[in-house]
Amino acid sequence: DCVTRKLPNGICLALEDILENTLSNRLDWGNMEVAQPIIASMLSQMVEALNGLIGEAVQKLCRHPNALREEQARALVESEKYRERLLGAFNRSTLAAALVNVTHQFMWAVGVGDSSAALSIADPDGSRRAHRLCDMHTLKDPQEYFRAWMCHGQGETDIIEHDLLLQLPSPYLQRLFRFLPYEGHADLTTMHKRIKTPPYYPTHELAKDLDYVIATPSVQSTDLRPFRDSDPLLMLFSDDVDHIINGYFVFGAGTSGNGDACEVVSKLLQDCPDPSGGPPWPQDTAAVERTREKSSCRCLGQSDRRTACRKTAHDDGSDTLEEQWY
């Protein structure tokens, strides 16, 4: 998966550069006021750059989609070399991630599209509640609807929300993407006529003079210290969870509820997860596997055996706690 391969490493390198060249190799509460906007800007830029790379990878693979014949398109779609690249551009346009410093108890969460980043905390009676960390980019939000409407041209009075299909100029859908596996309800044979302002920045002659609309990533910093005794859990999930909770997959398109997925997932976490539901994961959920590999804990900010910090034991029985980022 392009995101899990590129984004963590990119953020790590960018963070190291900021620490060395801007923050004098120091990042704690003493310089948080200076560091907060710098790191927030870096995270936003990294997500935007990744989004551009996904679209540009398809444009480099197929620079002239209008000239693509069906047999050529099917060969690309079925190719082991290019299939993942095409599926990545077709399906992955939403993201939620977090950068956590467990030692000093602060965190940045970043989200774009309709994925969710939230913090679940426990009340004294054991019940859990959720605090959403990032804004969602969905037309259900009046502010986001207004922003998207204003970004489109005056002649585009009918605006649709369909990030799977509207990512590149229409020939890509008409002659290439429609041969990919698709379980949605839209008619891919006619949807290309509605693509007016693809969000990827145009890089070749077919896309010149086209506008594009893309959401600016939402980045929020959070002080975790007030929650350290509340068993905090970081929740990151895609809009598929919202669809399940609101009945999209039960009642069909156009019929759903309005439940808060963050609150529902938080309530479910009142019970300990069953570890038997672990790997192997399906290929399309490889990000879950990689998340498990990188994470060593369930809780944030507790210096016990569940902590995300790394302890080093010494011969005298003492141990030291190394600052760790996740």
Cα–Cα dist 75/216, whole Å: 35
pLDDT of residue 171: 85
Note whether 285 and 1 are within 8 A (CB). Answer: no
Mean pLDDT by 10 residues, the chain (326 residues): 79 94 93 95 89 80 90 92 83 82 92 87 92 80 68 59 63 86 71 64 41 70 93 86 67 58 88 63 46 37 31 44 47
Helix pair 83-91, 2-21: axis angle to 10 deg:
80
pLDDT of residue 234: 92
pLDDT of residue 220: 93
Note whether 73 and 179 are within 8 A (CB). Answer: yes
**pTM of structure:** 0.69
pLDDT of residue 112: 83
CATH number of the domain to which 269 belongs: 3.60.40
Number of domain units in the chain: 1
**By CB neighbour count within 10 A (0-12 exposed, 13-18 middle, 19+ buried), where does 317 fall?**
exposed
pLDDT of residue 215: 66
pLDDT of residue 227: 93
Please give the DSSP secondary-structure letter assigned to residue 167.
S
Count of CB atoms situated within 10 Å of the CB of 285: 14
With a CB cutoff of 8 Å and minimum separation 6, the contacts of 96 are 109, 110, 111, 115, 116, 117, 134, 236, 237, 238
pLDDT of residue 276: 65
pLDDT of residue 74: 93
With a CB cutoff of 8 Å and minimum separation 6, the contacts of 192 are 170, 171, 173, 174
pLDDT of residue 270: 85
Residue whose structure tokens are 């959920």? 285
Query: Domain limits at 313?
Result: 2-322
Residue whose structure tokens are 């905390």? 121
